[in-house]
Amino acid sequence: MKFRDLSDLAFRNLREAVLRNSLTTLGVAVGVASLVAMLSLGVGLQQLATSRLAKSGLFDSIFVTPKTNLRGPGSGPPATRAPAPKARPLDADARAEISRMPNVIEVYPQIRFFTEVRYDGKPFATMVAGMPESSKASGAFDGMQGSFFSSPNADEAILQAEFAKELNPQTASLIGKDLVLRYAERQSLPGQGGDPGENSGGFSVVPKEKHLRIIGVVETEPASGFGGFGSGRLLIPLPLAETLRAAQVNDLRDILRDSSSDKPTYSSLTVRVKSPSLVEATEAKLKDLGFSAFSLLDASKSLRIFFSVFDLLLGIFGSLALAVATLGIINTLVMAILERRREIGVLKALGAADGDVKQLFFVEAGVMGLFGGMLGTLLGWLIGRSLTLGTNLYLHRQNLPGVDISSVPWWLVLGGIGFAVLVSLAAGLYPASRAARLDPVQALRYE
Amino acid sequence: MTELPPAIRLQSVSRHYIMGESVIRAVNDVSLMVPTGEFLALLGSSGSGKSTLLNLIAGLDRPSSGSVIANGQDLSKMSSLELARYRRQTVGMVFQSFNLLPRMTLEENVELPLRLAEVDRSERAARVREALLRVGLEKRIGHRPSELSGGEQQRTAIARALVNRPKILLADEPTGNLDSATGESILTLLREIQKNPGMTIVMVTHERTLAERFADRLAVMGDGKLLSNGAAR
């Protein structure tokens, strides 16, 4: 029988027992909805995590350090080591060279230094961190009290919430107030020959003060602590931090290395590239330039593996309802065989082959699967949206920014419908072959 | 003038059923020949094996032994797919209880064999109309079986059996559910159909009087055996 005739007959048969077939289709829809809702949560959470991490800049960033920095304590005492070739300093020239590399969009040093903050006449020891302009988009400043820096050189500070509470438990009242930053400025010493142009490689430390206005309070520093010395609790614009020339932990090490350059050197530079896919190639080029470089791509891969397993588990749990729905399809079709026994006999007497009868039941199962799949995918999407809505209502009450925790991409729509049709066809296998095997003589005698 | 080959030839046909430890011989060593164009009535009491024999000729059942040759084809050697094609193309069947599909209109019921035979859609409407015209029901084309009398339903069943232009028409007690006047009109219709050159009819009935009036030949069965076989008039 031609497919069009087959589907005509199948639709006619389905309409005959419209209530029972609708309920069976609804069962399939509920199964698919549960599957799609579960997977939409998995996909949504994965997208949320990935986008948050991407915004944090961790996965499109490469952390560059001078090669000697990687020599760890396990390398043995210096006397037993072969003399290392002189390492290339990570200085302003190197920074400029890296900035010119293809696909590099930003190169900035990690500036962190210990300081004493004076606020309301009281001293507070803390760590200052310079924030690049790009960190505004990292997501860490979403929902902050106050605002981000008005300009890259503004004399402004954003306080980390815990530190802000030390200054004043009413953190909101800090915004707009001034504080004084007391820090040690590094000043290069002239060479021992007395020539002002000659650099001795040493420096003096001069106490300085900087007045800053508090413009915001944030929960955490973005990408805090990576490659540094702990979280910054007082955040200032990075260009401002660079102009302060505050003495940092690595400065002493630079003197011991007998650096003859009077250009600023950096303990590490963060190199951001256009996309995570360019990290690996850029990392290799940086190593070729004579620096140590590493990235968090491996962590990203682990994240993908984690979410694949997570999705798989969600899919298995979601499929349980669909498994129950397949029993409904089998039951409906077996009932249909009993009711339409005589009709099957008539069809066979009129010349229907076993295959025609089998295909007829297959199409009926497939149609229920198709409609159940379409309805179920819609329901699953609605469940996902409801969960997102509920979550956002909760987050809103907690004064937190909203998130999208569910996502139904096209592959999930098509996959949900396709899976429902496949499962329904599989459920139709037994009834279809049972109908096809019916003895026409017995079927025609059936009352 | 060359003699036409027989439409149906049964050679020592038996059909046995095993029920527990006993063997039921529904058809027992029956040999019979039906010439092309003949109207044969198979008579016999209930359980005599006449319907089983008709099912064997229809290709709905297979003999336990012997051979059933219809239209030159040995049905016992056919695969189930070939038997289905044989039922579509060579035979048409009419049943005692009409066996029309109640949810379909007359047109759809009659069209069903055309769908199974994969006849082109553009041809179907004309073929259905022609078949219904032949049984005098062309004006009831959009009605459902429940809206028709028993006689009209049987006429529809005959139209459905004829729509694929079969060479053999098999009727199993076609008047069994009808009053005598209607039954007579159905047999008159069958007789008219038989006038078509080459159309062979085998009818199972237990109404001897009607069979004698309308059939060319009577074959009487009893206990699965062919008891007599001779001209009706």
First-to-last alpha carbon distance for chain A, in angstroms, is: 27
Q: In this structure, are residues A293 and A63 in contact, taking their beta carbons and an 8 Å threshold?
A: yes
Name the burial class of residue A278, with classes exposed (0-12), middle (13-18) and buried (19+) by CB atoms within 10 angstroms of its CB.
middle
pLDDT digits (tens, 9 = 90+) for A91-148: 888 888 898 998 888 888 888 888 888 988 889 888 888 888 888 777 777 778 888 8
Residue A7 burial (CB count, 10 A): 17
Q: Which residues of B11-29 are buried (b: 16+ CB within 10 A; e: fewer)?
A: bebbbeeeeeeeeebbbbe
Q: Which residues of A8-41 are buried (b: 16+ CB within 10 A; e: fewer)?
A: ebbeebbebbeebbeebbbbbbbbbbbbbbbbbb
Measured between CA atoms, the residue of chain B closest to residue A356 is B116
| Distance separating alpha carbons of residues B44 and B37, to the nearest angstrom | 22
| Predicted confidence (pLDDT) at residue A77 exceeds the cutoff of 70 | no
Measured between CA atoms, the residue of chain B closest to residue A15 is B103
Confidence of residue A354 (pLDDT cuts 50, 70, 90): very high
Which of helix, strand or coil describes residue A295? Answer: strand
What distance in Å separates residue A342's CA from the closest CA in chain B? 8
Minimum mean pLDDT range among A190-204, A323-337, A341-355, B128-142: A190-204
> Looking at residue A385, what is its pLDDT?
92
pLDDT digits (tens, 9 = 90+) for B166-211: 999 999 999 988 888 898 999 999 998 888 777 899 999 988 888 9
Confidence of residue A255 (pLDDT cuts 50, 70, 90): low
Best of A6, A12, A339, A350 to substitute, by most chain B Cβ atoms within 10 angstroms, is: A350
| Distance separating alpha carbons of residues B122 and A344, to the nearest angstrom | 26
What distance in Å separates residue A435's CA from the closest CA in chain B? 15
What distance in Å separates residue B155's CA from the closest CA in chain A? 16
Q: CB–CB of B116 and A1 under 8 A?
A: yes
> Looking at residue B201, what is its pLDDT?
94
| Predicted confidence (pLDDT) at residue B71 exceeds the cutoff of 60 | yes
> Looking at residue A225, what is its pLDDT?
44
E strand intervals along chain B: 8-19, 22-34, 39-44, 65-70, 73-74, 91-94, 168-172, 200-205, 217-222, 225-231
More confident residue, A264 or A176: A176
Average pLDDT over residues B10-37: 91
Look-up of token digits 């048409």: B92
Paired sense of beta strands B200-205 and A156-160, if any? unpaired
> Looking at residue A74, what is its pLDDT?
43
Find all residues with CB under 8 Å of A99, minimum gap 6, and list them. A107
Contacts 24+ apart (CB under 8 A), B176-183: B176/B96, B176/B205, B177/B96, B177/B97, B177/B98, B177/B150, B178/B150, B178/B151, B178/B154, B179/B150, B182/B149, B182/B150, B182/B151, B182/B154, B183/B207, B183/B210
Chain B positions touching A444 (Cβ under 8 A) are: 60, 95, 99
Give the residue from A170, A138, A173, A174 showing the smallest Cα distance to A159: A174
Highest mean pLDDT among A56-60, A286-290, B80-84: B80-84
B78 at interface of A, judged by CB pairs closer than 8 A: no
Q: CB–CB of A353 and B95 under 8 A?
A: no
Residue contacts between A and B (CB atoms, under 8 Å): 62
Average pLDDT over residues A384-393: 92
| Predicted confidence (pLDDT) at residue A226 exceeds the cutoff of 70 | no
| Distance separating alpha carbons of residues A266 and A91, to the nearest angstrom | 6
> Looking at residue A79, what is its pLDDT?
47
Record the tokens describing residue A389, joined without a space: 């809505």
pLDDT digits (tens, 9 = 90+) for A32-49: 999 899 889 888 888 888
Q: CB–CB of A441 and B55 under 8 A?
A: yes
Residue A118 burial (CB count, 10 A): 15
The residue type found at B77 is K
Residue A427 burial (CB count, 10 A): 26
> Looking at residue A50, what is its pLDDT?
76
Q: CB–CB of B116 and A348 under 8 A?
A: no
- The count of C-alpha atoms lying within 13 angstroms of the C-alpha of A376, restricted to the half-sphere facing its C-beta, is 38
| Predicted confidence (pLDDT) at residue A189 exceeds the cutoff of 80 | no
| Distance separating alpha carbons of residues A251 and A256, to the nearest angstrom | 9
B61 at interface of A, judged by CB pairs closer than 8 A: yes
Q: In this structure, are residues A64 and A283 in contact, taking their beta carbons and an 8 Å threshold?
A: no
Q: In this structure, are residues A435 and A356 in contact, taking their beta carbons and an 8 Å threshold?
A: no
What distance in Å separates residue A442's CA from the closest CA in chain B? 10
Record the tokens describing residue B156, joined without a space: 């529809």
Give the residue from B33, B159, B121, B31 showing the smallest Cα distance to A4: B121
| Distance separating alpha carbons of residues A151 and A236, to the nearest angstrom | 11
More confident residue, A74 or A242: A242
Residue A358 burial (CB count, 10 A): 20
Paired sense of beta strands B91-94 and B168-172, if any? parallel
Find all residues with CB under 8 Å of A77, minimum gap 6, and list them. none
Confidence of residue A76 (pLDDT cuts 50, 70, 90): very low
Mean pLDDT of chain A: 82
| Predicted confidence (pLDDT) at residue A241 exceeds the cutoff of 50 | yes
Q: In this structure, are residues A358 and A436 in contact, taking their beta carbons and an 8 Å threshold?
A: yes
- The count of C-alpha atoms lying within 13 angstroms of the C-alpha of A31, restricted to the half-sphere facing its C-beta, is 30
Measured between CA atoms, the residue of chain A closest to residue B55 is A441
Record the tokens describing residue A238, joined without a space: 């990075």
More confident residue, A248 or A95: A95
Which of helix, strand or coil describes residue A237? Answer: strand
> Looking at residue A201, what is its pLDDT?
58
**Nearest residue, CB atoms, A16 vs list B81, B103, B118:** B103
| Distance separating alpha carbons of residues B187 and B214, to the nearest angstrom | 7
Average pLDDT over residues A410-414: 92
pLDDT digits (tens, 9 = 90+) for B40-64: 999 998 889 999 999 999 999 999 9
Q: CB–CB of A352 and B101 under 8 A?
A: no
| Predicted confidence (pLDDT) at residue A229 exceeds the cutoff of 60 | no
| Predicted confidence (pLDDT) at residue B95 exceeds the cutoff of 70 | yes
Q: Percentage of chain A with pLDDT > 90?
A: 20
